[in-house]
Structure 1
Amino acid sequence: MTMSLAHATEVRKLDGLLPLWVGIGVYALLLAVGSGLLNDPDTYWQITLGQWMLDHHAVPRTDLYSFTMQGQPWISTQWLAQVAYALAYNIGGWAGPVVLAAASASLAIALLAHFLTARLARTPTLIILAATPALMAGHMLARPHVLAMPIMVAWVAGLVAAMDRKGVPSFWLLPLMALWANLHGGFVLGLALIGPIALEAIWHAPKDKQARALLHWIVFGLCALAASCITPYGWEALMASRRILSLGAALAVIGEWRPANFGKAGPLEFSVLAAFAFVLWRGIRLPPMRIVLVLGFVYMALGHVRNAEVLALLAPLVLAKPLGEQLGRDDDRDVASSPGRLLLAGIALCLIAGTVIVASIRQYTPSERAAPIAAVDALKKLNVSRVFNDYDFGGYLIWRGVPTFIDGRTELFGEKLMVDHNDASGLAKPDNLFRLLKDYEINATFMRTESAATKLLDRIDGWEKVYSDELATIHVRKDVPGEKVK
Structure 2
Amino acid sequence: MVDDTYSTQTAIAVSPSMEETQRVRLLFCLVVAIFKAATLLFSAGGLLRDPDNWWHVRVGLDMLSSRTFPTVDTYSYTFAGNPWIAKEWLGQIFFALAYEANGWNGVTLLTIAVITLTVFLLAWYLSASLRPTVAFGLTFLLSLLISPILTARPLVFTLPIIIVWTAELFRAARREETPPLWLLPLICLWANLHGTFTFGFIIAAFAGLDFLARTRLSKPAVLGKWIAFGMLCPLVTLLNPYGIKAILATFTVAYGNEAVSYIDEWQPFNASDSYLMEGFLLAALLGLLVSKLQIGWAKALFLLFNLHLLLTHQRFCYLFVLLVPLVLAAEIGEQFSWVSAQRWAKGHRDQLEQFLASHFHSISVATSVLLVFTAAIFSSVSQVEPDPKTSAKNALSFAQQHNLSGNVFNSYNFGGTLIFHGIKTYIDGRTDQLFLNGFMKKTMSAGNSGGRPILEEQLKTYAIGWALLATGDSRIPFFDELTDWRRAYSDENAVIFVRKR
The question of a shared fold, defined as TM-score above 0.5 by the shorter chain, is answered with yes
Task: Report the more deviating stretch, 468-477 or 252-261.
Answer: 468-477
Residues 209-229 of structure 1: CA deviation (Å, up to 9, x unaligned): 1x2122101211122111111
State the partner residue of 1:39.
49
Query: Which amino acid in 2 is paired with 1:440?
Result: Y
- 1:163 counterpart = 2:183: no
In 2: Cα distance, 1:362 partner to 1:238 partner: 40
Maintained 8 Å contact 1:458/1:465:
yes
CA distance 1:341–1:147, shift in 2 (3 Å): farther
In 1: Cα distance, 2:269 partner to 2:61 partner: 35
SS at match of 1:263: helix
Q: Could you tell me how far 1:453 is from its partner in structure 2? A: 0.9
Match of 2:385 among 362, 365, 369: 365
Match of 1:229 among 223, 228, 238: 238
State the partner residue of 1:407.
428
> Any residues of structure 2 matched to 1:424-439 within 5 Å, and which?
424-427=446-449, 429-439=451-461
State the partner residue of 2:267.
258
SS at match of 2:446: helix
In 1: Cα distance, 2:493 partner to 2:82 partner: 31
SS at match of 2:240: coil
State the partner residue of 1:387.
408
- 1:422 counterpart = 2:444: yes
In 2: Cα distance, 1:347 partner to 1:134 partner: 22
In 1: Cα distance, 2:86 partner to 2:460 partner: 30
Structure 1 spans left out of the alignment, 5+ residues: 480-486
In 1: Cα distance, 2:312 partner to 2:197 partner: 19
Task: Report the more deviating stretch, 7-16 or 409-418.
Answer: 7-16
Pairwise CA RMSD: 2.6
Task: Report the more deviating stretch, 261-270 or 195-204.
Answer: 261-270
- 1:397 counterpart = 2:407: no
TM-score when normalising by structure 2:
0.89
CA distance 1:416–1:334, shift in 2 (3 Å): farther
Q: Could you tell me how far 1:389 is from its partner in structure 2? A: 0.4
In 2: Cα distance, 1:24 partner to 1:248 partner: 39
Maintained 8 Å contact 1:16/1:338:
no
Maintained 8 Å contact 2:406/2:465:
yes
In 2: Cα distance, 1:175 partner to 1:309 partner: 23
In 2: Cα distance, 1:471 partner to 1:334 partner: 59
Residues 69-89 of structure 1: CA deviation (Å, up to 9, x unaligned): 111110011100111001101
Structure 2 spans left out of the alignment, 5+ residues: 1-6, 350-356
Residues 305-332 of structure 1: CA deviation (Å, up to 9, x unaligned): 2111111211112111111122121424
Residues 375-395 of structure 1: CA deviation (Å, up to 9, x unaligned): 112223344221110000001
In 2: Cα distance, 1:286 partner to 1:96 partner: 43
CA distance 1:301–1:428, shift in 2 (3 Å): farther
Residues 148-192 of structure 1: CA deviation (Å, up to 9, x unaligned): 110111111111111221222110111100110111111010112
Percent of counterpart pairs with the same letter? 33
SS at match of 1:35: helix
Query: Which amino acid in 1 is paired with 2:286?
Result: A
Maintained 8 Å contact 1:16/1:339:
no
Q: Could you tell me how far 1:407 is from its partner in structure 2? A: 0.3
State the partner residue of 2:112.
102
TM-score when normalising by structure 1:
0.92
> Any residues of structure 2 matched to 1:258-277 within 5 Å, and which?
258-277=267-286
In 2: Cα distance, 1:475 partner to 1:338 partner: 67
SS at match of 2:272: coil
Query: Which amino acid in 1 is paired with 2:481?
Result: R
Residues 286-310 of structure 1: CA deviation (Å, up to 9, x unaligned): 2011011011111211221211111
Match of 1:151 among 124, 146, 161: 161
State the partner residue of 2:319.
310
Task: Report the more deviating stretch, 244-253 or 300-309.
Answer: 244-253
In 2: Cα distance, 1:427 partner to 1:433 partner: 11
Q: Could you tell me how far 1:423 is from its partner in structure 2? A: 2.1
Query: Which amino acid in 2 is paired with 1:392?
Result: N
Query: Which amino acid in 1 is paired with 2:441?
Result: V
In 1: Cα distance, 2:24 partner to 2:175 partner: 26
In 2: Cα distance, 1:47 partner to 1:224 partner: 29
Maintained 8 Å contact 2:98/2:106:
yes
State the partner residue of 2:149.
139
Maintained 8 Å contact 2:490/2:496:
yes
Count of residues paired in the alignment? 478
SS at match of 1:465: strand
State the partner residue of 1:281.
290
State the partner residue of 2:212.
202
